[in-house]
Amino acid sequence: MIKQLVSAIALTLGVPLLSLAAAPADDALVARGAYLAKAGDCVACHSAPKGKPFAGGLPMNTPMGRIYTTNITPDPETGIGKWTEEDFEKAVRQGVSKDGHNLYPAMPYPSYAKVRDDDVKALYAYFMKGVAPVNQANRPSDIPFPLNMRWPLKFWNMVFLDKGVYHDKDGHDVAWNRGAYLIQGLGHCSSCHTPRGIAFQEKALDESGSAWLTGGVLDGWFASNLTGEQNVGLGRWSDADLTQFLKTGANAHATAFGSMTDVINHSTQGMNDQDIAAMSAYLKSLPPAGGTHAPAYAYDPKATTALLAHPANDAGAKVYTAYCMHCHGVDGKAFAPLLAPLAGNPNLLEKDASSLINVTLNGTQDLVIQGIPAAYPMPKYAPVLSDQQIADVLTFIRAGWNNGAPAVAPSDVAKLRKSTQAAQ
């Protein structure tokens, strides 16, 4: 009786029975694609500040010049509305656009190459049917001729692009393989967290490479070491610590900064608990790599407390007491996770101080968890403190509480001040 009624309605409306049957499946595919797009953090790169979602226009700095992300809404004129699923797959996994031009590897297609066919299909369904079309022309790059020619990228792909999708690895359980798939593929964690070579290629694409996720400099930030390294990596973090960080952007050890803030805001906080647990399990399985090879960090506040009791005797201590101590405390532990700890923070112990200089100069974007902005974002001190003062206070912090990290030079602050101001 129900089938007859549905048939009658379909005939009356002129709707084929096939489309009625397929609609729930289509909706499910779109919903799955929406989740995968969140896992891939697509909106963060393909949306400009105050712009419409996925309409592109976000500036990205490369060693050759500035490029702008593209419109990936289903607008037929300026977006991808006329793209077939095959066109979409070529762009996502092979770095080749519909018209045949090669994409810059700032688009993390070396990671997306590992995304499986069924997930590509779901992503295509979402971008075609679940995203609002926006008519916004793509902006050409600022890279000058002849560096803006794309044909050399064909040879780059021949050398550095591994086109194989991810296959589960023997000897590991389902959760580990799921985590590896997300970290290596849609999560494209290595795009920031793996150092790059002279040709801007990632030095490793999975855990078989010694440089895998050992940290890397990108756009004025140092993306942290994600291996089991005991000082600058995740060696002192529990599974619960890592899960908390991926869900909220902060824990007892560190707080997100730079582009990781976008990852937390737009991606990982919206992922399900099973996938977050899988990602954590994979990352926590990685052996120590990279780092400074220093002895294991041990908290010792005595010397720092003494300096802060008489800050006039130390230039860095004077700046710290005036601008930092009210949030980060005499003990350097702050009020984590509300405020970032400084004692033993992996980013403080890292040899490369780029992130510390950048966050002191320019502050941080707000972490927005479940719609609520963080109560105490890091303010910018570029208008307030000189290069010498920032170098002094960071040198004090990096030596404080037994952190034992190298000093920061005023010239390093000046260089980053100039580059980040130019990028704004």
Written in H, E and C, the secondary structure of the chain is: CHHHHHHHHHHHHCCCHHHHHHHHHHHHHHHHHHHHHHHCCHHHHCECCCCCCCCECCEEEECCEEEECCCCCCCCCCCCCCCCHHHHHHHHHHCECCCCCECCCCCCHHHHCCCCHHHHHHHHHHHHHCCCCCCCCCCCCCCCCCCCCCCHHHHHHHHHCCCCCCCCCCCCCHHHHHHHHHHHCCCCCHHHHCCECCCCCECCCCCCCCCCCCCEEECCEEECCCCCCCCCCCCCCCHHHHHHHHHHCECCCCECCCHHHHHHHHCHHHCCHHHHHHHHHHHHHCCCCCCCCCCCCCCCCHHHHHHHHCHHHCHHHHHHHHHCHHHHCCCCCCCCCCCCCCCCCHHHHCCCCHHHHHHHHHCCCCCEECCEECCCCCCCCCCCCCHHHHHHHHHHHHHHHHCCCCCCCHHHHHHHHHHHHHHC
Q: How far is CA 12 from CA 4, 8, 15, 42, 273, in A?
A: 12, 6, 8, 41, 45
* Residue 255: φ, ψ to 5°: -130, 145
The answer to whether residues 257 and 178 touch, using CB atoms and an 8 Å cutoff, is: no
* Residue 125: φ, ψ to 5°: -60, -40
End-to-end CA distance of the chain: 65
- Nearest CA to 306 out of 331, 342, 289, 282 is that of 331
Residues belonging to the binding site for heme c are: 42, 45-46, 189, 192-193, 324, 327-328
Residues belonging to the binding site are: 42, 45-46, 189, 192-193, 324, 327-328
- The span from the CA of 354 to the CA of 149, in Å, is 31
